[in-house]
Structure 1
Amino acid sequence: MSPPPSPPQQRIGLPWPELNDGLEYKDIVSSSESELMTVSEFYFTKYKSSAPLLGWIQRIQNGQIQIDGEVVKDPNTVLRSGSKLVYHRLPWKEPDTPYSLDILYEDDDLIALNKPSGLQVLPGGLFQQRTLLTQLHWWFGKKDSSTGARELHPVPVHRLGRGTSGILLCAKTKLAKTKLAAYFAEGTSLVGSGNLDQDCGTGRKLTKIYRALADGIIEEDEVVIQQPIGVVRYPGVAKGLYVASPEGKPAFSKLAVLARDRQNNCTLVKVDIQSGRPHQIRIHLAYIGHPLVGDPLYVAGGQPKCFDTDLVDDAAAFAEDGGYRRPNQPVPGDCGYHLHAHQVELLNLLNINKVVKIVAPLPTILQTSSEAQEKSLPPAS
């Protein structure tokens, strides 16, 4: 096995500006969309997850919509086929978010970053600029301008929840993106076919090991969880909330107990996931009755802590900019739990006989006592 290069760890990240740049949404009206459709109907139909109808009317009356270069303030303006629409979302202050990242590994095809808890990976909701993707593009833009190299646009090939820390793999080339995406899909497809790697052995091209702190005492030393994960409608989550569901898609997690803290009623575990369903570890541990310590969303059974179905269609509540208000219930991006993508092993993208092992340093709370003691020892002379 070939270890990653070991130069001093490099930290990247620029402080966030007070306000982001706002957003522009550009559309061209098709012939089917122009059949007596008003501008308010167009936006509400196409961007339902952004704002309720009353919110879109407010945005139009506020002068944030242009049709063919002209500001339109009448929500009942009828659209014509071929018209060019632009919606200007005004700049806003995004929630406080960490911005520093450590580079754990880098070669010509791949860069692995240590994502801090609290940093969202991709734009969405309130987080449009304060994302890992923005910092990644800022960093490579700065490197390219200083060296005169061709401009690179590395992209994450998987996601970590906003509250999850640890290794995030990003592809620097199209070939790397294709291969890494295939590696991630392979494990999930094997689970779906029933061809499970019960021992989580070396046959896979990609293995992912997490650390987590679970509520309660898990008495078994090893637990295999194969609970399917599906989607239910949930306020504030446009595409639905992932939960434990018998009608869901297959998922496979194998956990091993590392330490039991009976005084604080919690268990430190490592988890190998062969599939990659959203929020899989949080849902699977909650499903067996041991949700992550501090998880504001999932409780025993793998279901949300608070779920008022009467609020799913509450379109009357919208924020100052016309968009939906943040729901009172917890949402998946809320932080507070302890989950860390600790270790990744993958076949090198250019040489299939080489294995790259990437390790993200553990937060103190996810270390065993022996690991913490070893970390505190002075270096050997």
Structure 2
Amino acid sequence: MAMITHGTQSGLNQGWTYRDRITVAQAGVSVVAYYADRYRHSSREEWAQRLAAGQLYRNGQALQRDAVLAPGDHLEYHRPPWVEPSVPLDFDVIYEDADLLVIVKPAGLPVLPGGPFLTHTLLHQLRHRYPDETPYPVHRLGRGTSGLMLLARSPLARSVLSQQLRQDTATAEDPQAPHHIVKTYRALAEPGDLPNRFTLTTPIGPVDHPWLGQVYAASPDGRFALSHGQVIQRSPTANLVEVTIRTGRPHQIRIHLAAAGYPLLGDPLYGVGGHPKIRSVPDQRIPVPGDLGYWLQAHHLTLAHPRTQAPMAFTCPLPMPEPEAVVVRPLP
């Protein structure tokens, strides 16, 4: 097992350019109104300040004033360099060949750029280690989730594994269909009388969120999702559960357990019912999916090698907490 170490980075990144293309339905409003409605993490006043600072472009030209958008307009927001939040950047490689890479991701490390994270991501660290042919994540883990991640190092592996994951989700309702890539997680859920073995099928889809516009949550209009689980250990403070997901919906385990009445212990976003918690206290930040506080580990992974078809199985070497000793981490 090899550890890839780049430490905890600090200082400014190099900024980023965010691009949008205006559709017919989006046209007819001003640039500032468009950004304020689509990207609600910033107020209309803040977008107006960015316009005045020369950070908003339309069709390659910096805008000097607010302007009404037309279909086909290409917008750019040139975000200046910023200091990213500190995150753990070390990860372990537990398997590597010409086709595959299996790593152990630490909790707190985002996989892809987004929000305040650009270089403090797993993808950026992989580019340091593999500058010529960066491994491609064939599935994702949430920022707060630790454990096993599967990455493709060859076009063959990327094609085969991605197709298998899509097939597993598409055929999840058929108990006779093969399960090509089996991902099993362990989590600490709130205590209670959750059955020893359980199956969860709450549909998952986008719902309104006042800061991000939309987040995934339990939704009757959502897509089918299937999780099979069992309780490993019970205590007065938490249930240690093991969950195998047959579908690959965003935040599936967090949403499913919350929808069943047993949210992950310390989850700042998903409460009972599987819906986002929207804080009403003035000046208190609204939770988002990347916030930390819960314990969820990608614990076990099985698959067939995409080239040789040899069976492969991996178990996360990270220790698991004892439910009796759980201390809920505060929201940073």
1:345 aligns with 2:317: no
Aligned position for 1:356? 312
Deviation at 1:72, TM superposition (A): 4.5
* AA aligned opposite 1:100: D
Deviates more, 1:9-18 or 1:283-292: 9-18
Higher helix share: 1
Quote the offset at 1:164 in angstroms.
0.7
What corresponds to 1:145 in structure 2? none
Q: Does 1:274 align with 2:246?
A: yes
Q: Is the 8 A contact 1:207 1:274 kept in 2?
A: yes
Where 1:276 maps in the other structure, the secondary structure is: coil
User: 1:29, 1:245 → 2: CA distance?
Assistant: 28
| Rg comparison, structure with higher value | 1
SS of equivalent to 2:258 = helix
- For residues 275 and 342 of structure 1, the distance between their equivalents in structure 2, rounded to whole angstroms, comes to 17
CA contact (8 A) 2:192 2:239 kept: yes
Equivalence for 2:5 = 12
Question: Residue 217 of structure 1 contacts residue 265 of structure 1 at CA under 8 Å; is this kept in 2?
Answer: no
Equivalent residue for 2:88? 98
Question: Which structure ranks higher in relative contact order (CA pairs < 8 Å, sequence separation ≥ 6)?
Answer: 1
Residue 157, structure 1, aligned to residue 138, structure 2: yes
In the other structure, the counterpart of 2:200 is 225
The alpha-carbon distance between structure 1 residues 180 and 306, as it changes in their structure 2 partners (threshold 3 A), is same
1:365 aligns with 321
Distance 1:162 1:224 in 2: 25
Partner of 2:151: 170
Find the aligned partners of 1:80 and 1:184 in 2 and give their Cα distance.
Answer: 39
After TM superposition, list the pairs within 5 Å mapping 1:1-381 onto structure 2. 8-25=1-18, 40=32, 44=35, 48=39, 51-65=42-56, 72-76=63-67, 87-141=77-131, 151-191=132-172, 194-196=173-175, 203-218=178-193, 220-238=195-213, 240-261=214-235, 264-306=236-278, 328-352=285-309, 354-365=310-321
TM-fit CA distance, 1:54: 3.6
* TM-score after normalising by structure 2: 0.84
In the alignment, the residues of structure 1 paired with residue 143 and residue 230 of structure 2 have an alpha-carbon distance, to the nearest angstrom, of 24
Deviation at 1:85, TM superposition (A): 6.6
Preserved CA contact (<8 Å) 1:62 1:73: no
- Structure 1 distance, partners of 2:105, 2:195, is 31
- What is the deviation of 1:44? 3.1
Aligned residues: 324
Larger mean CA deviation between 162-171 and 242-251 belongs to: 242-251
Q: Give the SS at the match of 1:24.
A: strand
3-state DSSP of counterpart to 1:248: coil
Q: Is the 1:12–1:139 contact (alpha carbons within 8 Å) kept by the matching residues of 2?
A: no
Aligned CA distance change for structure 1 residues 207 and 79 (closer, same or farther; 3 Å): closer
Q: Is the 8 A contact 1:94 1:130 kept in 2?
A: yes
SS for the counterpart of 1:282 is helix
1:104 and 1:359 in contact (8 A); partners too: no
Deviation of the 1:248 alpha carbon: 1.7
Which secondary structure state, in structure 2, belongs to the residue aligned with residue 249 of structure 1?
coil
- Give the Cα separation in 2 of the matches to 1:82 and 1:220: 53
Shift of 1:217: 3.1
Flag the 1:53–1:351 CA change in 2: closer, same or farther, 3 A.
Answer: same
Q: Quote the Cα distance in structure 1 between the aligned partners of 2:207 and 2:141.
A: 20
1:109–1:64 Cα change, 3 Å: same
Residue 196 of structure 1 and its aligned partner are, at CA, apart by: 3.2
Unaligned runs of at least 5 residues, structure 2: 326-332
Q: How far 1:39 sits from its partner (Å)?
A: 5.8
CA shift for structure 1 position 70: 6.6
State the Cα deviation string for residues 337-373 of structure 1 (Å, max 9, x = none).
1110011101101012x1111221133306999xxxx
Which residue identity is paired with 2:11?
A: E
